[in-house]
């Protein structure tokens, strides 16, 4: 090939690359940046990975920036300090913050909440059999699952669970380890730790839907959601609505496709196939299926129960779910 032709082709190639780079930069510049604070090893990161891997956020004109955080409290600090735009938290925290003058809002993300797992050799066949036994509890004395269990115990056995059994509060990984070693007969842990215990042969004694049903609440309740500032959302309407659509699309894909989960397997750190399947199906079961109106209606009823159990330490001075807690697109109501 003559040298002149080679030079012309080289020049054309460089020009094409420059144009392509410029176009890519322009497209990226047009995307709305959304900074999401997530726990480093939390299950929320699975959905965000699907959003990025399959271009669901980009398709909505959103550029995701994942900000890894070490602890749940770090997420609250990060969003209060405007270091991130979104975090995953519950509507209880949002309601309390709104009642104190902040403008956080909540968009449902998951209804997956752990239940009580027991060892097969613990001699526990029903909830009443836990009387006097030790129960490991994740999340502390103000954890919503523990507070609901206390109310459930009053309703079903006529006694507060705090006196009906012996609660032992500890970090989720430690609770699982103690149960597996036989040092605890039962534990009430977060859903993905409960899934791991089920895969290891532990028996699920009671689920959160069963606890809620015992309290007269038969409907689904998304407890965890995307949390963000209302003012930020109104100023960045395309960003938040695009993000939420991408989130819905990711959940739909995770619900329908097993192949998507194979891509996530390394992130899930499942020790074996049984654990992998339990985590996958647990996540799928937690995908909300109710509308925002129904979710808020149920949340108002559950708020009353939690306020009665946790008091001001949990909900602040509010006596009801704060108006505007649930985001409705374009503005909270």
Q: What is the tens place of the pLDDT at every residue in 292-315? A: 999 999 999 999 999 999 998 888
> Nearest Cα to 266, choosing from 113, 45, 59, 12?
45
Q: Do domains 31-111+222-271 and 116-214 have the same CATH topology?
A: yes
Taking the domains of the chain in order of start, what are their residue ranges? Answer: 31-111+222-271, 116-214
For 204-253, write each residue's pLDDT tens digit: 999 999 999 999 998 888 999 999 999 999 999 999 999 999 999 999 99
**155 vs 102: CA distance, rounded Å:** 35
Mean pLDDT of all residues in 270-290: 95
Q: How confident is the model at residue 330 (pLDDT cuts 50, 70, 90)?
A: low
Q: Tell me the CATH number of domain 116-214, given options 2.40.50.140, 1.10.1580.10, 3.40.190.10, 3.40.630.30.
A: 3.40.190.10
Sheet of 62-69: strand order equals: 62-69, 32-39, 86-90, 224-229, 104-110
Q: How far is CA 269 from the centre of its chain?
A: 18
Digit-coded pLDDT (tens) for 35-65: 999 987 789 999 999 999 999 999 999 999 9
CATH 3.50.50.60 fits 31-111+222-271, yes or no: no
- Return the pLDDT at 19: 39
* DSSP structural state of residue 322: P
Answer whether residue 333 shows pLDDT above 80: no
89-121 pLDDT, tens per residue?
999 999 999 999 999 999 999 998 889 999 999
Q: For residue 204, count CB atoms less than 10 angstroms from its CB and return exposed for 0-12, middle for 13-18, buried for 19 or more.
A: middle
Average pLDDT over residues 278-291: 94
In eight-state DSSP terms, residue 186 is E
Q: Exposure of 233 by Cβ count < 10 A (0-12 exposed, 13-18 middle, 19+ buried)?
A: buried
∠ CA 300-303-308, rounded to 5°: 140
State pLDDT tens for residues 122-181.
999 999 999 999 999 998 899 999 999 999 999 999 999 999 999 999 999 999 999 999
């Amino acid at each position: 090939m003559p040298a002149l032709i080679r030079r012309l082709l080289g020049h054309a190639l460089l020009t094409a690359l420059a144009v392509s780079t410029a176009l890519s930069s322009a497209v990226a510049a047009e995307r709305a940046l959304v900074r999401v604070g997530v726990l480093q090893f939390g299950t929320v990161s699975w959905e965000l990975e699907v959003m990025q891997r399959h271009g669901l956020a980009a398709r909505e004109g959103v550029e995701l920036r994942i900000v890894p955080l070490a602890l749940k409290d770090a997420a609250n600090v990060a969003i209060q300090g405007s270091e991130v735009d979104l975090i995953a938290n519950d509507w209880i925290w949002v309601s309390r913050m709104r009642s104190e003058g902040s403008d956080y809002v909540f968009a449902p993300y998951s209804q997956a909440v752990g239940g009580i797992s027991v060892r097969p050799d613990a001699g526990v066949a029903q909830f009443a059999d836990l009387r006097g036994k030790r129960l490991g509890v994740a999340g502390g004395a103000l954890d919503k699952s523990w507070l609901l269990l206390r109310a459930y115990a009053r309703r079903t056995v006529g006694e507060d669970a705090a006196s009906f059994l012996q609660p032992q509060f500890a970090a989720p990984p430690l609770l699982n380890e103690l149960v597996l070693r036989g040092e605890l007969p039962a534990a009430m842990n977060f859903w993905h730790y409960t899934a791991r215990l089920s895969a290891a042969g532990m028996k699920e004694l009671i689920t959160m839907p069963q606890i809620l049903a015992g309290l007269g609440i038969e409907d689904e309740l998304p407890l965890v959601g995307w949390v963000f500032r209302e003012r930020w959302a109104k100023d960045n309407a395309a960003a938040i609505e695009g993000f939420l659509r991408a989130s819905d699309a990711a959940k739909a894909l995770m619900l329908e496709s097993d192949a998507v989960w194979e891509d996530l397997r390394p992130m899930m750190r499942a020790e074996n196939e049984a654990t992998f399947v339990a985590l996958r199906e647990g996540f799928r079961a937690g995908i909300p299926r109710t509308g925002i109106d129904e979710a808020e209606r149920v949340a108002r009823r559950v708020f009353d129960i939690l306020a009665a159990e946790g008091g001001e330490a949990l909900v602040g001075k509010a006596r009801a779910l704060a108006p505007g807690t649930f985001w409705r697109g374009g503005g909270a109501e």
